[in-house]
Structure 1
C-alpha cells in the first residue's frame, strides 16, 4: 500500500511538472498583446481625456480636415484646441472648463493665423496660441503628451 501511494505521488508530481508551460514556450505564431492602458493626467492627478489627433474625411466630394491639440496655459491649465479646415471655412474651437469658443479664420500673414469673433481673437504661430478677450490675454503653448 505504501509503495502504491509513493508511486502515485511520483506520477502526479511528474505530471504536474511536465504540464507546466512557461510564457516563452508554446505556439510561437500567437501574438502577445499588451493589456496595459495609458492614462493622461492633468496637474491635479485627474484622468485627462484630451489627446492629440488628426483626421481627414470627405463630405460630398470635399475634404474636411480636423486636427486636435492640447495646449497648456501659463497657469498650468490644459486647453483642447481643434483646428477645422473645410472648403467653406476654417475655424478653431477652444475648449476649457467645459466651455467651447469657436472662432472663424480671418487672415494669415507672416506665418501667423488669426481667428476672430466679436471681442475674442486667437493668434496662432508655430506652437504658440495667443488668446485675447477684452483686456484679458492668455498665452498657450502646445504640449507634447
Structure 2
C-alpha cells in the first residue's frame, strides 16, 4: 500500500475509534445510563405501564414476547408475573452489554443506536448454569 494510502487508512481507523468511544460516553456515564434505563423499566412495571415496558425492550426481545404470547406486547406484558425488583445492588457494563442486579430481579440490557434496551428480565441466577429469565430475546 502506498505511504499516503496507509496514512489515510490509519487516520480513518483512528477517527472511527474516536467516534465510537466518544459516542459511548465514559464508563461512569454508561453505567448511569444503564441504571436509569433499568429503574425506568422497573417503575413502569410497578405502575402497570405495559406500553412503556414494551418500548424499553430490545427488538428481538419484543418479537419473542409477542410470538410466545401470540398477542401484542402490551397484553403479553400485562400477563407476565415479573418480580418487583427493589433497589439496584450492582451494575456491570461490558461494552454494549450490561447486567443490572436488583434486590429481587436481574435485568440484562444491550446498547442500540436509540439507547439501552432490555434484552432479558425476570432473571434468576442458577448454580453452574446461565440465568433463567421470564422474558428474553430469541
- Judge same fold: TM > 0.5, yes or no: no
* TM norm structure 2: 0.31
Greater fraction of residues in helix: 2
TM-score between both structures, scaled by the size of structure 1: 0.30
Instruction: Give the structure with the higher percent strand.
Output: 1
